Amino acid sequence: MALQLSSACCTCFSGICHGRRVRARRIRAVASEDFAILKAEEEKVKLGGSELKVTRLGVGAWSWGDTSYWNNFEWDDRKMKAAKAAFDTSVDNGITFFDTAEVYGSRLSFGAINSETLLGRFIREKKEKDPQVEIATATKFAALPWRLGRQSVVAALKDSLCRLGLSSVELYQLHWPGIWGNEGYIDGLGDAVEQGLVKAVGVSNYSERRLRDAYERLKKRGIPLASNQVNYSLIYRLPEENGVKATCDELGITLIAYSPIAQGALTGKYTPENLPTGPRGRIYTPEFLIKLQPLLNRISEIGEKYGKTKTQVVLNWLIAQDNVVPIPGAKNAEQAKEFAGALGWRLESEEVQELRSLASDIKPVIGFPVENL
Q: Which amino acid is at 156?
A: A
Contact, 229 vs 99, CB < 8 A? yes
What DSSP assignment string belongs to 301-351? Answer: HHHHHHT--HHHHHHHHHHTTSSEEE--B--SHHHHHHHHTTSS----HHH
Please state the length of the chain. 373
- What kind and span of H or E run contains 257? strand 254-258
Catalytic residue check, 104:
yes
Contact, 83 vs 28, CB < 8 A? no
Strands 169-174 and 198-204: parallel
Rounded Cα distance between 169 and 127, Å, is 16
Query: Which residues lie below 8 Å from residue 315, measured CB to CB, with a gap of 6+?
Result: 57, 260, 261, 326, 328, 339, 342
Burial tier of 80 (Cβ tally within 10 Å: 0-12, 13-18, 19+): middle
Of residues 69, 104, 185, 215, which has the active-site annotation? 104
- CB-CB neighbours of 9 under 10 Å: 10
Which of 319, 253, 201, 264 has its CA nearest to residue 62? 264
Residues serving a catalytic function are: 104
